[in-house]
Structure 1
């Protein structure tokens, strides 16, 4: 299922009509649009709005899986009883650098009807939703964004990067030193449903940005994909990894589209790719990778790994700055005062961040700042996918001098690339 959508261009602040409270809801504009908690009675209308947003219909099984995860977290905007906006969130546990598992909420199924754009509905719904999330005490909120211009104003920063690649299988050959470990099996969808979760769990525990995935979400997805009329999924499994892919033909060329590839070890990575690059009746293999994926260096012709797109995936809003910064590990000792600006919930402040032997201590302080940045920028730095020195060059981060920037940049680097685990 696609992740987050909004059915309108981005707000212009001058056009936002700020909400006023009346009774149990929040009312916006002359038509008295009400912002309120959603109920199960709103679910059919909410799913219709979501399907309209993304232009496709989801199966009853997939919708049932989502409703079971979301529970009572829905916030809706209604106009004379009709749902014209919605946002929801589900429990989300995410690996952060160093391996800690941090709890949070994953924002999803966000939509505003085109009939009600530019009335401040998204901001009003997000305000109610994020105040509730803040009150719960979780340190992170996560989402995926259909438009990159929308969520920075709410303190979210793009925190993982992925590349969509295409490889001409006919020409791809491995370097002589790349192992051929074998151990890969072709399995059915039913077998994949049983084998994949345990491998995913091992990969998730190692990978910054990867989230715990409820088994029901994978079960429902694979079951729906294997129905008559759908493109059936195929699965290959190694004891330390797996690949899920679909096959299609376009212009008489066979294409294998890998929609999930997870390898816990380098041997599993090599073994799975050897199989994918030897599929009969396939001209191109398409996949989504971390920019640090080693495949291009495994091939004698690295140019065969053609990057079609490079884009953000997981977005992070840090709800509790000290808790989040103390949860991850760091690559250099650090003693710096950081000013964090939050124009949405005013949850920023000035913090003394001290790191020794990879472990951090973060407390509020009144000392003058040595580094200053928006909360969204801190979200982009948090998992290690972006560099502080690059963001400073882009005028998104200020440091008092070059040495402060150098050490700050070094501290936030990680030894494993951040990747989003699954789309929500």
Structure 2
């Protein structure tokens, strides 16, 4: 381990601290983004590693509520703004910060910790597993048509200023959170991230735009997007860049996508992050021309195994004894009896014989229902000790809706 001094970040140190983070990532944020991240920083939960008066490591924890299978919102620590100076690699700084962060999350009574990874290979050794993936989509709208439900015609679509409509859109988003695992209950201030639109981030696209879908005077969905114009010898071939799209029902969802597909002077719709089970994929006429790319998104690890497994609900009745290995948070290691169904769940220590054997990383991957325990067993990462236990647990941990994180942190 390093002799570097690790301590809580002071407000007057933030500019230097964030500058070190930018240095590690090789980029400089625009002033608007810096101002927002300063406001969102929880100083008492952020740490800096110091060496001879110089910041050489950064890490912050953010207080979230995470939607889990069954709709509960579980207190969760979000790990963000992590960096180690290139001059101080392989000195144990990252490990020390991960130790500090997980101890902090446990002390705060948060059963879960989550992160989004710039380099996904880093965090498995600290017990984080990929719990949610997302789809990048690029649709050739000149060749792909949408088959929308008949009631998609019953909406009034209107433009709105993104900032002026923010409160109304945020209320709709809050209604959506319990319906899909992996969504974050946004705390005050986080709504501003959805309308952050520095010119330097646009890559030639228009300023952020917003369209609302209303029915009988009620907001039923919204989309925030920009348009990137492009022309060649044949004429216009611009791109609609979708930033956010949320809807309360299938008809509003389809109406918004139809609007985006039909914007004049464009021939492509691009979205950087959509759920892997987005209904859009069942509206299009040709999936091959939708350029779908799956990537990891939300990494999760149970910090308190018993509380985490009791907080979610299960797709089928389950009664199984898990042998859990957790080298980094050894208080989780041991046998746990999980009983539960769609209405209730309980997970307690037990001396009973183990029926499934797995690590906390595998538990994190399966936690939101996006990864099958059976698939992990096929990779040799889960071991069945009682015949039938794997099928029972794998079915119970599944969920009808795929997990998805709508935005980074």
Instruction: Name the TM-score, length of structure 2 as normaliser.
Output: 0.91
Task: Note if 1:255 corresponds to 2:239.
Answer: yes
2:235 corresponds to 1:235 = no
Paired with 1:130 and 1:223, the residues of 2 have a C-alpha distance of: 30
CA RMSD after TM alignment? 2.1
State the partner residue of 1:321.
Answer: 305
Cα offset, 1:177, TM superposition: 5.0
For 1:273-422, what aligned pairs fall within 5 Å after superposition? Answer: 273-287=257-271, 288-307=273-292, 309-348=293-332, 349-356=334-341, 358-422=343-407
1:113-128 equivalent positions in 2, closer than 5 A: 113-128=85-100
CA contact (8 A) 1:53 1:111 kept: yes
SS at match of 1:313: strand
Any unmatched runs of 5+ in structure 2?
214-218
From 10, 15, 19, the counterpart of 1:48: 19
For the 8 Å contact 1:37–1:76, the answer to whether it is kept is: yes
Stretches of structure 1 lacking an aligned partner (at least 5 in a row): 1-17, 19-27
| Alignment-derived partner of residue 266 in structure 1 | 250
1:131 paired residue number: 103
Inter-CA distance 161–108: structure 2 relative to 1 (3 Å threshold): same
Q: Distance in 2 between matches of 1:124 and 1:258?
A: 39
Aligned residue number for residue 130 of structure 2: 158
CA contact (8 A) 2:356 2:383 kept: yes
Cα distance change on mapping 1:319 and 1:133 into 2, 3 Å: same
- Determine the structure 2 residue equivalent to 1:39: 10
Distance 2:81 2:165 in 1: 27
Correspondence list, 1:100-119, <5 A:
100-119=72-91
**3-state SS of 1:160 partner:** strand
Residues in 1 aligned to 2:375 and 2:135: alpha-carbon distance in whole angstroms: 19
> In structure 2, the residue corresponding to 1:111 is in which secondary structure?
strand
- CA displacement at 1:190 relative to structure 2: 2.6
How far did 1:254 drift?
A: 0.9
Tell me by how many angstroms 1:341 deviates: 1.1
User: SS of the counterpart of 2:110?
Assistant: coil
2:47 corresponds to which of 61, 70, 75: 75
Equivalent residue of 2:177, what SS? helix
For residue 228 of structure 1, report the CA deviation from its aligned partner. 11
Q: Deviations over 1:329-375 (max 9, x none)?
A: 10111111001111112132210111245421110012221111111
Structure 1 residue 402: Cα displacement: 4.7
User: 2:141 aligns to what?
Assistant: 169
For 1:202 and 1:413, locate their aligned partners in 2 and report how far apart those are by CA, in whole Å.
23
- Deviation per CA, 1:31-76, whole angstroms, max 9, x where unpaired? x422222211321111112222333322444333333332321111
Q: 1:184 aligns with which of 147, 157, 160?
A: 157
Shift of residue 174, structure 1, vs aligned partner? 2.2
Contact 1:162 1:290 in 2 (8 A): yes
Query: 1:112–1:121: 8 Å Cα contact kept in structure 2?
Result: yes
Q: How many equivalent residue pairs?
A: 394
Q: Which residue of 2 aligns with 1:4?
A: none
Seen in structure 2, the aligned counterparts of structure 1 residues 373 and 280 have a Cα distance that, compared at 3 Å, is same
1:245 aligns with 2:257: no
Rounded to whole Å, the distance in 1 between the matches of 2:200 and 2:247 is 27
Normalized against structure 1, the TM-score is what? 0.88
State the secondary structure of the residue aligned to 1:398: strand
1:211-222 matched pairs, under 5 angstroms: 211-219=184-192, 222=195
Conserved? CA contact 1:212–1:421, under 8 Å: no
Cα deviation, 1:259-315, whole Å, max 9, x if unaligned, reads 2222221111101111011011111101122111122221222322221x2111111
* Matches of 2:89 and 2:231, distance apart in 1: 40
Find runs of 4+ consecutive structure 1 residues off by over 6 angstroms: 226-230
Contact kept, 8 Å, 1:166 with 1:284, in 2: the verdict is yes
- Using the TM superposition, name which of 278-287 and 238-247 deviates more: 238-247
Deviation at 1:236, TM superposition (A): 1.4
Aligned to 2:28: 57
